Amino acid sequence: ATTKVVWTNTWFNPEDERKAADSLVSDGVDAIASGQDSPASGEAASEAGLPFVGYDSDQSENLSDVWLTASLYHWGPYYTERVQAVADGTWETGAYYGGISDGFVSLAPFGEQVTQETQDLIAEKQAGLEDGTFYQLTGPLVDQDGTEQVADGVEMTLEEILTMDWFIEGVEGNPAG
pLDDT digits (tens, 9 = 90+) for 68-78: 999 999 999 99
- Check whether residue 128 and residue 173 sit in a common domain: no
pLDDT band at 110 (very low <50, low <70, confident <90, very high): very high
* Residue 134 confidence (pLDDT): 94
Structural domain boundaries, residue 151 = 137-177
Q: What CA–CA distances, in Å, run from 112 to 2, 25, 56, 115, 117?
A: 23, 22, 19, 7, 12
For the cut 90, the answer to whether the pLDDT of residue 54 exceeds it is yes
Which residue would you say has higher pLDDT here, 52 or 94?
A: 52
- Check whether residue 66 and residue 149 sit in a common domain: no
* Residue 92 confidence (pLDDT): 94
Evaluate whether 177 touches 9 at the Cβ level (below 8 Å).
yes
pLDDT band at 63 (very low <50, low <70, confident <90, very high): very high
- Check whether residue 103 and residue 170 sit in a common domain: no
Total number of domains in the chain: 2
Evaluate whether 25 touches 42 at the Cβ level (below 8 Å).
no
Q: What is the largest CA-CA distance in the chain?
A: 55
* Residue 17 confidence (pLDDT): 97
**Mean of all residue pLDDT scores within the chain:** 95
CA distance 41 to 22: 8
Phi/psi class of residue 153: alpha, beta or left (left: φ > 0; alpha: ψ in -120 to 50)? left
* Residue 1 confidence (pLDDT): 87
